[in-house]
Structure 1
Amino acid sequence: MKTLNLLTLLVAFVFISCKDKHEFGDLTPPSNVNASFSIVGADNTHPHGDGTGLVNFVVTAQNAISYRVDFGDGKTEMAPSGKIQHRYTKVGTNKFTAVVSAVGAGGSMSSVSLELEVYSSFSDAEAENMLAGKNVGDTKTWYWAANVAGYAGLGPQESGDNGEYGYPAWWQATPFDATRTCMFENSFIFTHTANGITYKQTADHVFIPGAYAEVLGVAKDQCHGTDVVPTITGEKQVSFVPSTSKAATQGKYNNKAYRGTAIELSNGGMLGWWVGASTYDIISLTDTQLIVRVMQPNSQYAWYHIFTTTKPSENNFTNLVWSDEFNKAGTPDATKWTYDLGKGSNGWGNNELQTYTKDPENVKVENGVLKITAKADGSGGYTSARLKTEGLYGFKYGKVEIKAKLPAAKGTWPAMWFLGNNFATDGWPKCGEIDMLEQKGNKKTHILGACHWYDTDNNHQGDYDKETEFANTSADFHIYTMTWTEKKIIFAVDNQNYFEMNNNDKLPFNQKFFLIFNIAMGGSLGGNVAANFTEDSLEIDYVRIYQ
């Protein structure tokens, strides 16, 4: 054992009061600080240890009420008893300067420094690379896999003859549990630096389950901030160490053994769920999924977490059920599209000026895109096209993705929208109308989303719309999406939401709808058509529907 008595560093505190006299008691700093360390496994043949990286520290002092150790590797811990074991994880033989402080009344401290050289042989480079990226400077962000049953779970630490200590035998969270939505705001960023892996979480709160909330004396099963858990924020160092728990060495999760590696987060770090511990057994790890287990101190509770690199959506529509990629030149696919033709009644109900045709000069597939072209007919009128899937395809709920470029000419009114399948029998607005995208003829730097229906409670038309500024819609292709569920209808462009409306069972938006693409001329939203207008097009690269 090595013992060092070094220069004592005294921290004095001066308290000044303008009017009142305060008594703080004896502020005599600790004295006679004696600190020592012993490297586990060190002998004449292996002076720097057995490769575990474990070092035992012992410190004593007069007038000390606790002790603090800065281990010199970015980690600091309190040691109330004056004894603490620490694992150094930097691979190889490395030198460290540990600062050991005796803490006295009022926060006064006396410190000594210890120079040590430790050998650590454990390494899991594959885990480091999958967690943070292979190269220095790489960063990976992880999220709660909230769409998966058991993204949070609970089981025993060691009990259970049937192996229950290796998996969440007692409880598993259901996907998108409404009582834990505050958790899902958080994300977890791991960065590969020249000195190892660092970690931080993005939210300033963590979830505290009831079992540990009772220990802290705070409200159960909800998120708490830094007033309860001061160590939430800030960058943490990530260490990779051998797993030593019974679950990691003997247990199985989904009938597979644990990885055998644990991660330690410095300075009280946690992965969005606080139970008083910062060491996580890695159960399994891939480039896109992380499953870990953390043991709550002084209990039999072991908590399980599942994370993913893709932020899940409560409406995780990923199954492609219908699409048109417009790869075949010529007329649009007749198995998918039909047409509205003519001038309609009262200009299609909006005083529109165009006549719809299915002529190639108004609608065709060319160079991998659908082109709907509005044209001046030379006689003061206009022709255009209106395609629809009515009678061929309808759907209820899902995600619609359309890559499109809008016309730029004044007076053009492009639209990508939907009507209820009952349009032919019940008419408008009882069938419901979803306008995923419209653009006014005189506001080409704006886009518009809207829904229309028949308000049965008040016996009149119901409407909700929202207009948003969005430039370059006519110069470039953009990706427009609609996410439609029994609870909400959301429109977005390039992942930026521009419309959101609540859905409910009183509205008609809980039945199948069909799709419509068109360009109108003039009318209620098209406005005045430019006098020199000749033609302009709505171009659609693809349309995809997921459920």
Structure 2
Amino acid sequence: MSGRNSVHTPPTNPFGTPLRLSRAPTEDERHPYPLFPIANPGVSLPRQRKFKSARFTGGEYEKPWTQEHNPRRKWERVIFWGCILIGLAIGGSICYLSYASVSNHEYCLVLDDSFTTIDPSVWSYEIQRGGFGTGSFEWTTDDPQNAYVDGAGLHIVPTLTTTSTNITVDQLNDGYVLNLTTAGTCTSTDIGMCSIRSNTTTGAIINPVRSARLSTKGKKSIKYGKVEVTAKMPKGSWLWPAIWMMPEASVYGEWPRSGEIDIVESRGNYGDDYIDGRDSALSALHWGPVPEADAFYKTAGKHNVRRTDYSEKFHTYGLEWSEDYLFTYIDSRLLQIFFIKFTTHKTMWDRGGFGTSILNHSALFDPWSQTGRPNTPFDEAFYLILNVAVGGTNGFFKDGVGNKPWGDRSEAAPKAFWDSKAMWYPTWGKGDERGLSVKRVRMWRQGACGKR
């Protein structure tokens, strides 16, 4: 407001008290804050002072750290690069020593089969109905429905007895005699493995499933060497595929005295329904002075996969075996299922601790130590077996797991399995999906060709 009658009001500070000045206030002092428009146009705010930087503007300033020499800096570089070089040298030495310690024997190829046919000069059918000591429920045959070759390789496929033979459901359960000896096909010398009569009173039934078991016994075997089998596992509850080896001669006695090498076994059950189902690959050595003292659990391993299983695609299952060690692997020697070094114990008898064991109130007999070799009984020639079993009463399928429909101690276990067909048969894959498919088998003998 202006005019002759206007009254001068002395400037005040932000707290409203008058400023005492020895001179007339300047315009900035009258309005120390900027004016901003507000809702009431008749009122204005004081204007803020302009910000002044406190940055040094006096020209170049000294940087003494660029001029002074620090003697520690040289040693810091020496120590840093020296440690890197030492680390590289140590790492390189470890890698070299690890590589040098890996055994790389010379091998001679003795079998390479890609299955354009089932070659009788290499493979034999093992035909019987008794379960081969495992109590499995299948009847093995040489029927082309159970073992055949196509563009994908060899297929070992289980089939229902009632759909692949003329045996009816009623005959399966009662009044039918299956005699493979009379048919001239049984390969076992045990009559109990070759014949059976179905009977509803006793619960004995004709084997409800047929499958196949092929071996190279008497034709192709190795004592130390390598085996690689490229295969795909089957789909289906209670299917038991196996790629394994047995001794050509039972030099140290009946099983398991003369040993058994399981390159890979699996279970056809879906992994979410059965722990260690077809998402698990198992390997083991079986050995012991008597069946009740089989020490396979000391020389066994497994490898599980996630979000898939071994029925989805082909894998190569391998064995490398020498006088000093034995291991199994999947696809590469780097992915080992289990490894055993024979030289860590004086003998397999010592490894098993059998000398301190008592069975049926008696001490166990040592069948191996007389050889003086730490790997006995795995010091003889072994042949290869490919098969698909179904069920069993030896504990491979544990009672009470995965809704298992039979008990191992039941005399009528095969019938209990057959009676639950509505539970397991729908889980079996279609066509060869329910079988073990084998694309290629190779065996090498350790040592140069021409040398035995």
Q: TM-score, normalised by structure 2?
A: 0.51
Is contact 1:485–1:503 with CA below 8 Å preserved after alignment?
no
Which residue in 1 is equivalent to 2:284? 450
Q: Name the larger-Rg structure.
A: 2
Q: Is the 8 A contact 1:406 1:414 kept in 2?
A: yes
Q: 1:520 aligns with which of 372, 389, 393?
A: 389
1:460-539 alignment to 2 at 5 Å?
460-464=293-297, 465-470=300-305, 471-495=308-332, 496-504=335-343, 505-523=374-392, 524-525=395-396, 530-532=424-426, 533=428, 536-539=434-437
CA distance in 1, matches of 2:101, 2:158: 38
- What letter is aligned with 1:539? S
Structure 1's 396 and 229: CA in aligned 2 closer, same or farther, altered over 3 A? farther
1:444, CA displacement in angstroms? Answer: 1.4
C-alpha distance in structure 2 between counterparts of 1:229 and 1:537, whole Å: 57
In structure 2, the partner of 1:542 is 440
1:370 partnered with 2:136 = no
The aligned counterpart of 2:85 is 231
Number of the residue aligned with 2:124: 338
Q: Cα distance, 1:440 vs. partner? A: 2.3
C-alpha displacement of 1:503 = 2.4
Cα distance in 1 for partners of 2:111, 2:87 equals 45
Residues 219-239 of structure 1: CA deviation (Å, up to 9, x unaligned): xxxxxxx998542457xxxxx
Query: Structure 2: how far apart are the matches of 1:538 and 1:333?
Result: 18
Aligned-pair CA distance for 1:501: 2.1
Secondary structure of 1:272's partner?
helix
In 2: Cα distance, 1:432 partner to 1:539 partner: 26
| 1:459–1:230 Cα change, 3 Å | same
TM-fit CA distance, 1:318: 5.8
Counterpart of 2:14 in structure 1 is: none
Matched with 1:164 is: none
Aligned to 1:272: 92
CA distance in 2, matches of 1:394, 1:369: 21
Deviation at 1:488, TM superposition (A): 2.0
Residue of structure 1 in register with 2:165 after alignment: none
Q: Tell me whether 1:426 sits opposite 2:212 in the alignment.
A: no
The question of whether the paired residues in 2 share the 8 Å contact of 1:401 and 1:481 is answered with: yes
Aligned length: 266
In 1: Cα distance, 2:124 partner to 2:256 partner: 22
For residues 145 and 251 of structure 2, the distance between their equivalents in structure 1, rounded to whole angstroms, comes to 29
Asked if structure 2 preserves the Cα contact closer than 8 Å seen for 1:491 and 1:498, the reply is yes
1:350 aligns with 2:177: no
CA positional deviation for 1:271: 9.1
Cα 1:409/1:373, change in 2 over 3 Å: same
C-alpha distance in structure 2 between counterparts of 1:227 and 1:511, whole Å? 55
Tell me the alpha carbon deviations over residues 10-63 of structure 1, each in whole angstroms, 9 at most, x when there is no partner: 658xxxxxxxxxxxxxxx944xxxxxxxxxxxxxxxxxxxxxxxxxxxxxxxxx
2:125 partner amino acid: Y
- CA contact 1:394–1:515 (8 Å) conserved in 2: yes
Amino acid of the residue matched to residue 222 of structure 2?
Answer: F
Distance 1:461 1:360 in 2: 35
Identity of aligned residues (%): 27
Q: 1:366 to 1:463 in 2, by over 3 A?
A: same
Residue type of the alignment partner of 2:126: D
Structure 1 counterpart of 2:267:
440
SS across alignment from 1:450: strand
| Candidates 315, 335, 338, aligned match of 2:103 | 315
Mapped to 2, the partners of 1:438 and 1:403 lie a distance apart of 14
Deviations 1:108-141 (CA, angstroms, capped at 9, x unpaired):
79xxxxxxxxxxxxxxxxxxxxxxxxxxxxxxxx
| Structure 2 counterpart of 1:328 | 116
Could you tell me how far 1:507 is from its partner in structure 2? 3.3
Contact 2:280-2:309 within 8 A present in 1 as well: no
In structure 2, what is the Cα distance between the partners aligned to 1:423 and 1:441?
A: 31
- Distance in 1 of aligned mates of 2:90 and 2:316: 37
Alpha-carbon distance change, 427 to 473 in structure 1, aligned in 2, over 3 angstroms: same
Residues 10 and 391 of structure 1: CA distance in aligned 2, closer, same or farther (over 3 Å)? farther
Gaps of 5+ in 1: 1-7, 13-27, 31-102, 110-225, 235-268, 275-306
Post-superposition shift, 1:459?
A: 9.4
Q: 1:232/1:425 Cα in 2 relative to 1: closer, same or farther (>3 Å)?
A: closer
After superposition, the C-alpha distances for 1:304-356 in whole angstroms (9 at most, x for unaligned) are: xxx9xxx6773325634222333424xx1111111211113xx2211100001
Give me the whole-angstrom Cα distance separating, in 2, the residues matched to 1:522 and 1:273.
51
What residue in structure 2 maps to residue 247 of structure 1? Answer: none
User: Residues 452, 273 of structure 1: CA spacing in aligned structure 2 closer, same or farther, 3 A cutoff?
Assistant: closer
* 8 Å Cα contact 1:441-1:522 kept in structure 2: no
Q: Distance in 2 between matches of 1:479 and 1:544?
A: 10
Q: Check conservation: 2:111, 2:220, Cα contact below 8 A.
A: no
Q: 2:12 is matched with which residue?
A: none
Task: Give the C-alpha shift of residue 270 in structure 1.
Answer: 9.3
- Alpha-carbon spacing, 1:431–1:444, altered in 2? closer, same or farther (3 Å): same
User: Unmatched 5+ residue regions in structure 2?
Assistant: 1-61, 163-168, 173-207, 270-276, 344-373, 398-403, 406-416, 418-423, 447-452
Higher relative contact order (CA 8 A, sep 6+): 2
- Answer yes or no: is the 8 Å Cα contact 2:116–2:153 preserved in 1: no
Q: Distance in 2 between matches of 1:398 and 1:437?
A: 17
* Matched residue SS, 1:315: coil
Q: CA deviation at 1:107?
A: 3.5
- Greater strand proportion: 1
Q: CA RMSD in A?
A: 3.8
CA distance in 2, matches of 1:472, 1:459: 32
Residue type matched to 1:341 in 2?
I
CA distance in 2, matches of 1:349, 1:383: 17
Cα distance in 1 for partners of 2:143, 2:74 equals: 88
Equivalence map 1:398-409=2 (5 Å): 398-409=225-236
Query: Do the aligned partners of residues 361 and 9 (structure 1) sit closer, same or farther apart at CA in structure 2, a change above 3 Å counting?
Result: farther
Aligned residue number for residue 203 of structure 2: none
Return the alpha-carbon distance in structure 1 between the equivalents of residues 323 and 241 of structure 2.
Answer: 27
**Partners of 2:109 and 2:74 in 1: CA distance:** 68
Q: CA deviation at 1:396?
A: 1.3
Instruction: Give the secondary structure class of the aligned counterpart of 2:219.
Output: coil
Deviations 1:85-118 (Å, cap 9, x if unpaired)? Answer: xxxxxxxxxxxxxxxxxx62x4479xxxxxxxxx
TM-score scaled by length of structure 1:
0.43
What residue in structure 2 maps to residue 119 of structure 1?
A: none
Question: CA 1:372–1:318 in 2, change beyond 3 Å: closer, same or farther?
Answer: farther
For 2:320, give the aligned amino acid: T
**Contact conserved, 2:128 with 2:141, CA < 8 A, in 1?**
yes
